[in-house]
Chains A and B, each alone.
Chain A
């Protein structure tokens, strides 16, 4: 039932443009010919092109380019496909064919997108039309290279709720019962002087002074010292995050760091050890010594128990996703689907991540031990692990707002380098800093929602919307690399938050089956037998692989509507006298008849 997902989109056609596949129902006919416009969006150019659709062949159309999107309207029929792509998803624009190109549609542009698709447009050779489009697209897709602002800074959308207000660190820590006897909120980083990639507010052990923290910072990569992420509401074991210690080849030690870890350990009297999970494979941790990094050795940290979680680095993940793309776009690998999928290692990485997060969560919940998590710099794998573990342990984060807070806290404020990892507005598509770390995290969350369909308040659309706006540059949420930079740029004042959009349309993103259970711990099964490729995200452009219709959800919503209907009717009946009722208002008498009535509205 594509109609239902399409009807979701109808309500907010603009917001959801990239969530749906090429639309065939012409829902936007009422809009201006040149496509939808956001406040602040302005037309730049338009050209007649041939869109070479990998699924249904070449389509003649008119391409409209604005400072936010490219939009394609067919010239042939109303039923023809429409493209509506925010320029932010563009990773690379290439010219294909040259003056000598002969073949039909061999001269034009090939656009690689961050959301796993490729767009190809064939253009006429005469009249510089390709050069013009290429220049316009390049300028607006990669504005940073041309001293232009990202669209988020131009966007004038207004929403009834302000997403920037969703996260208030003090409130979130208070929710966790912090500060308490053992933990304090430190303002040592208020001006981002201790660590420029950390948030202004940090929760640290009560017994460690700000001076202690400054000394510890010199021994941690990029000064990212161990700070508290989450504390167990009952046993008060904590999840801490940091970067690697700067041990180096010489095996340097830091008394301050050792003492600091001991102080952390002592905040929890239930175990005599502090557990350290180094997210990296052991060999990599060792290798990191060569560049000044390393891990907490047994000699220096006798009261710590270190294990490696074998999660690979950003380069491996980028390569893995590239392989996924190869097997799903434009055509889904048929003959050897399973072995091809295996050879991407994507699900294996997911498995390792989830396994790592379970180990962290289980150590805190049943091992009663505080846990320190780090990788190299503590902004990629570390963020993945702490957030996933927190999702398993704390039902609050499984609600829509809780999840937003979680992302805002562990990812955005703790300096996951969104700008570098995604390459917002940046031309350099081959930048080795780019990596789908956040996507991988969202994939893990999706796997959990699949295994626990009643545990999350949000639905799949929510996750897809987050990923779409991760690239779209329409909102400020995922721009820049750290809190300090965001403050400098006054992001909260100058841009809109993606949570404004989502929280204004919550119905669309709500899972009807959600049952709130804050204290329930959920551990997903990490066996690849239960992990799936997220077809509705990775293969959503392919019309042959249709988005799953969620019939269960549909039926449930039907029933919900029916229930409300009945409740209303009952109320009416209680008011009215029974004799006034006509036959036409009689309710159906058996379950069998429920559905036909219900089905009329989709």
Chain B
């Protein structure tokens, strides 16, 4: 981390003043702007509220084509939103497919500042990471992005002072700590003012009691759980949303007692009545009497939720016995390096040890562990009919991950477009996942940067990949969603909690004595993509659940009745309940004595249970509208190739990949559609619903496997061949030296 600027930790501070010393003075910005307007070769289209900070001309951007590098000449600019390259000859690398799937906010040559991962300079052929104030300026700039792009810029032909300005500008604006208020989010919101959210956007935001009631209703949880508004105006605590759901008998006072800690908060109810709950840990106390108070408090809580009608509770402590955030962080750091590839030779050099590199990053294993844990939880809920209580320090990291994974697997509604978005809204955004810190958007602490949400998306991708017809969205949707984490015009991923968002919005509006700012949500996909491009986010394989009985429709919103298909293994019946109650007392003692860690049930027999459950499920045909479990064996957990390999030209299958079949499928859908319309026309029936069949995939045989991303589309059909050869065969030299056959020399 840079030693710059003593920026306060909390988000809600008033001071809008920048705490950093800009390398670029306002006057300079001004001059630059003038220059731009004078030159006007390729115009920089600034977003509302976007400001140009610095620029450099005669920069070469390297594009790799057929193992040779081409340089495209142009300007490199840095604004308060992005780094952008403006090629002189227009965007030479553009091609047809790409322009169709254009992101309206981020062009192919744009890098949002938040998306920059690491900046390197090349000095005399040596690559060094760049930090802080530089003494010497590099001849080449290499930018590694969080969406795994690697961009190379040559500065050799750029004027020295321009090099200084642009390099230090970029370093400063992408690395130095920022105040929340200085986020581009606010300048953008102020400039666009009052753009209402897309009215067709049906994502449930969970910012009103109504939303929670609806969710309770939908999952039939309303019998045992209620929505509380005790935290309205964040009176009780900043971590929790204004409205949430707790067991019905729970008292408001209990919620207030430890600022919302130590109380079970409802996440989701299973069709059999058991529920998934979460709880944040009580403050750490050394003092005996304080401990005693905590004990009796927890005792009371447990009594409430252990009494019928509540099911037995199984506690899953996520702070111990499971992944740590540090593990996730260090694993992802190793993992992403495998894709941030600077050159073709690096690609082929790493190819020979690819699997061991992949394994040593541990990322796939982390995914497997998450999926496995989710299956264990599901087994409890589904087969054992138990409530599961997830415990975590703040209940806002692994809690979000597991509870949403469980819901994606168990609740087909969460696999629909709006269902999935509502789930993220409920568990992550309202659940208080600290997006700001976890993405390190403000560059305040590298230690806090942990890709928990990305891990979730990767886990969901494994499910999407294994069961494609079960999801209304595609892997492309997940990929662009992961990219959206770094686009600071959406509020969704730029706050640590709903409280932080609300307070910042509120005060702003008072100060400016104007309408309150409306921030965009990422769920309004029309901001980023044209309708045509959006069709790539919807899965043509997905089929809505057939409505069994049309007469029995309830509310218009209550569409997604779930029907779980799983044949239950005999659920453990209640005689054990009494025993469990005693057990609970014991557990609470443990909880307070040794802190939470000992709460876990002996995990071995559970594993057997869930193993059986897992095998049993997989031995039956899949109901895409029912419970959905992933395969977790070694060969089944894969690299999310679309996200991770999409910018690497060597990994591009020209004219191949899944897009080819997808194109055929869409073509056939269109044909069926038109036949259907013809038949309907004959019947004089109502107008046929039109399926949007994207014209983007036409002639898909010529698209590459990296579609729709491929930044450096290869144009020629030349094959890419490995540049580095065979790794030594360990211990097989004997065999390698042998003759295939005994050669008979007799008649030679």
Residue ranges of A at the interface with B (Cβ–Cβ < 8 Å) = 1-3, 24, 218, 221, 246, 248, 281, 284, 287-288, 291-293, 310, 312-316, 319, 332-334, 336-339, 341-343, 345, 347-348, 351-352, 355, 358-359, 361-362, 366, 375-377, 380, 432-433, 451-455, 513, 515, 517, 520-530, 533, 535, 539, 543-546, 549, 551-552, 555-556, 559-560, 562-563, 566-567, 569-570, 573, 578, 581, 586-596, 599
Please tell me if B636 contacts chain A, counting CB pairs below 8 Å.
yes
Q: A551 and B636: CB pair below 8 A?
A: no
Q: A562 and B672: CB pair below 8 A?
A: yes
Please tell me if B574 contacts chain A, counting CB pairs below 8 Å.
no
Q: Quick one: given A522-B656, A589-B686, are A338 and B359 in contact (CB under 8 Å)?
A: yes
The 4 closest A-B pairs by CB, nearest first: A337-B634, A595-B543, A596-B546, A523-B719
User: Among the listed B621, B636, B676, which residue makes an inter-chain contact with A545, where contact means beta carbons less than 8 Å apart?
Assistant: B636
Q: B650 and A525: CB pair below 8 A?
A: yes
Comparing B261-269, B376-384, B733-741, the segment that makes contact with chain A is B733-741
23 sampled A-B residue pairs with Cβ under 8 A: A281-B726, A281-B736, A288-B739, A291-B743, A312-B735, A337-B635, A341-B635, A342-B353, A348-B352, A348-B726, A376-B740, A451-B657, A452-B660, A453-B656, A454-B660, A513-B661, A527-B348, A529-B351, A559-B672, A573-B679, A581-B683, A589-B685, A590-B688
Q: B660 and A513: CB pair below 8 A?
A: yes
Please tell me if B524 contacts chain A, counting CB pairs below 8 Å.
no
Q: B660 and A453: CB pair below 8 A?
A: yes
Q: A560 and B717: CB pair below 8 A?
A: no
Q: B543 and A24: CB pair below 8 A?
A: no
Please tell me if B7 contacts chain A, counting CB pairs below 8 Å.
no
Q: Interface 1/0s, chain B 704-731, versus A by CB < 8 A?
A: 0100000000000111111001110110
Who on chain A is nearest to B678 by CB?
A: A570
Q: Which of B596-655 contact A (CB under 8 A)?
A: 615, 618-619, 621-622, 631, 633-636, 639, 641, 645, 650-655
Q: Quick one: given A333-B634, A556-B665, A563-B671, are A312 and B729 in contact (CB under 8 Å)?
A: yes
Q: B737 and A338: CB pair below 8 A?
A: no
Shortest distance from the beta carbon of A318 to any chain B beta carbon, whole Å: 8
User: Among the listed A362, A555, A573, which residue makes an inter-chain contact with B682, where contact means beta carbons less than 8 Å apart?
Assistant: A573
Q: A552 and B645: CB pair below 8 A?
A: no
Shortest distance from the beta carbon of A463 to any chain B beta carbon, whole Å: 17
In the complex, the number of residue pairs spanning A and B with C-beta atoms less than 8 Å apart equals 259
Q: Quick one: given A288-B739, A529-B351, are A515 and B634 in contact (CB under 8 Å)?
A: no
Q: Quick one: given A562-B672, A566-B672, A591-B689, are A527 and B748 in contact (CB under 8 Å)?
A: no
User: Among the listed A380, A551, A566, which residue makes an inter-chain contact with B468, where contact means beta carbons less than 8 Å apart?
Assistant: A551
Please tell me if B345 contacts chain A, counting CB pairs below 8 Å.
no
User: Among the listed A345, A521, A527, A544, which residue makes an inter-chain contact with B651, where contact means beta carbons less than 8 Å apart?
Assistant: A527
Please tell me if B701 contacts chain A, counting CB pairs below 8 Å.
yes
Q: B619 and A24: CB pair below 8 A?
A: yes
Shortest distance from the beta carbon of A570 to any chain B beta carbon, whole Å: 6
Q: Collect the chain B residues with CB atoms within 8 Å of residue A3's CB.
A: 621
Complex CA gap A559/B675 in Å reads 11
Q: B355 and A342: CB pair below 8 A?
A: yes
Q: Collect the chain B residues with CB atoms within 8 Å of residue A348's CB.
A: 352, 726-727
Q: A525 and B683: CB pair below 8 A?
A: no
Q: Interface 1/0s, chain B 245-288, versus A by CB < 8 A?
A: 00000000000000000000000000000000000000000000
Q: Collect the chain A residues with CB atoms within 8 Å of residue B358's CB.
A: 338
Complex CA gap A347/B354 in Å reads 11
Q: Quick one: given A551-B541, A594-B672, are A376 and B635 in contact (CB under 8 Å)?
A: no
Q: Collect the chain B residues with CB atoms within 8 Å of residue A567's CB.
A: 675
Complex CA gap A8/B346 in Å reads 45
Q: Collect the chain B residues with CB atoms within 8 Å of residue A284's CB.
A: 736-737
Q: Quick one: given A515-B664, A591-B689, are A358 and B356 in contact (CB under 8 Å)?
A: no
Please tell me if B745 contacts chain A, counting CB pairs below 8 Å.
yes
Q: Collect the chain A residues with CB atoms within 8 Å of residue B737's CB.
A: 284, 287
Q: Collect the chain A residues with CB atoms within 8 Å of residue B738's CB.
A: 313, 315, 432
Shortest distance from the beta carbon of B28 to any chain A beta carbon, whole Å: 45
Q: Quick one: given A315-B738, A552-B541, A569-B679, are A525 and B652 in contact (CB under 8 Å)?
A: yes
List 8 extra interface pairs beyond A292-B743, A530-B641, A556-B665, CB under 8 A.
A337-B634, A361-B719, A376-B740, A524-B653, A525-B651, A543-B619, A545-B633, A551-B469
Complex CA gap A293/B467 in Å reads 53
Complex CA gap A3/B654 in Å reads 34
Q: Collect the chain B residues with CB atoms within 8 Å of residue A527's CB.
A: 347-348, 351, 354, 650-651, 722
Who on chain B is nearest to A593 by CB?
A: B546
Q: Collect the chain A residues with CB atoms within 8 Å of residue B739's CB.
A: 288, 291, 313, 376
Shortest distance from the beta carbon of B481 to any chain A beta carbon, whole Å: 22
Q: Collect the chain B residues with CB atoms within 8 Å of residue A530's CB.
A: 641, 651, 653
Complex CA gap A341/B682 in Å reads 59
Complex CA gap A555/B718 in Å reads 34
Of A292, A348, A587, A596, which is in contact with the most chain B CB atoms at under 10 Å from its CB?
Answer: A587
Please tell me if B544 contacts chain A, counting CB pairs below 8 Å.
yes
Q: Collect the chain A residues with CB atoms within 8 Å of residue B359's CB.
A: 336-339
Q: Quick one: given A2-B621, A3-B621, A339-B356, are A375 and B688 in contact (CB under 8 Å)?
A: no
User: Among the listed A453, A544, A590, which residue makes an inter-chain contact with B633, where contact means beta carbons less than 8 Å apart?
Assistant: A544
User: Among the listed A361, A521, A546, which residue makes an inter-chain contact with B631, where contact means beta carbons less than 8 Å apart?
Assistant: A546
Who on chain B is nearest to A435 by CB?
A: B740
Please tell me if B673 contacts chain A, counting CB pairs below 8 Å.
yes
Shortest distance from the beta carbon of A234 to any chain B beta carbon, whole Å: 15
Please tell me if B680 contacts chain A, counting CB pairs below 8 Å.
yes
Shortest distance from the beta carbon of B667 to any chain A beta carbon, whole Å: 10
Q: Quick one: given A526-B722, A549-B622, are A312 and B683 in contact (CB under 8 Å)?
A: no
Q: B656 and A1: CB pair below 8 A?
A: no
Complex CA gap A480/B360 in Å reads 46
Q: Collect the chain B residues with CB atoms within 8 Å of residue A524's CB.
A: 653, 656
Q: B720 and A525: CB pair below 8 A?
A: yes
Q: A454 and B664: CB pair below 8 A?
A: yes
Q: A451 and B705: CB pair below 8 A?
A: yes
Q: Interface 1/0s, chain B 526-567, versus A by CB < 8 A?
A: 000000000000001101101000000000000000000000
Who on chain B is nearest to A566 by CB?
A: B675
Q: Collect the chain B residues with CB atoms within 8 Å of residue A555's CB.
A: 469, 540-541, 665
Q: B653 and A451: CB pair below 8 A?
A: yes
Shortest distance from the beta carbon of B98 to any chain A beta carbon, whole Å: 20
Q: Which of B191-227 contact A (CB under 8 A)?
A: none
Q: Collect the chain A residues with CB atoms within 8 Å of residue B656's CB.
A: 451-453, 455, 522, 524
Q: B669 and A545: CB pair below 8 A?
A: no
Please tell me if B364 contacts chain A, counting CB pairs below 8 Å.
yes
Q: Quick one: given A284-B737, A316-B736, are A355 and B722 in contact (CB under 8 Å)?
A: yes
Of B668, B730, B737, which is in contact with the most chain A CB atoms at under 10 Å from its CB?
Answer: B668
Who on chain A is nearest to B546 by CB?
A: A596
Q: Collect the chain B residues with CB atoms within 8 Å of residue A293's CB.
A: 743
Q: Quick one: given A315-B735, A359-B721, A452-B655, are A560 and B668 in contact (CB under 8 Å)?
A: yes
Complex CA gap A569/B678 in Å reads 10
Who on chain B is nearest to A320 by CB?
A: B732
User: Among the listed B351, B661, B718, B735, which residue makes an inter-chain contact with A366, where contact means beta carbons less than 8 Å apart?
Assistant: B718
Shortest distance from the beta carbon of A39 to any chain B beta carbon, whole Å: 34
Please tell me if B568 contacts chain A, counting CB pairs below 8 Å.
no
Who on chain A is nearest to B700 by CB?
A: A454
Q: Quick one: given A310-B726, A530-B653, A594-B672, are A552 and B718 in contact (CB under 8 Å)?
A: no
Q: Interface 1/0s, chain B 465-509, versus A by CB < 8 A?
A: 001110000000000000000000000000000000000000000
Complex CA gap A503/B741 in Å reads 35
Shortest distance from the beta carbon of B526 to any chain A beta carbon, whole Å: 22
Please tell me if B307 contacts chain A, counting CB pairs below 8 Å.
no
Q: Collect the chain A residues with CB atoms within 8 Å of residue B356's CB.
A: 338-339, 342
Please tell me if B691 contacts chain A, counting CB pairs below 8 Å.
yes
Shortest distance from the beta carbon of B445 to any chain A beta carbon, whole Å: 32
Of B359, B650, B676, which is in contact with the most chain A CB atoms at under 10 Å from its CB?
Answer: B676
Q: A566 and B543: CB pair below 8 A?
A: no
Q: Collect the chain B residues with CB atoms within 8 Å of residue A451's CB.
A: 653, 656-657, 705
Shortest distance from the beta carbon of A204 to any chain B beta carbon, whole Å: 22
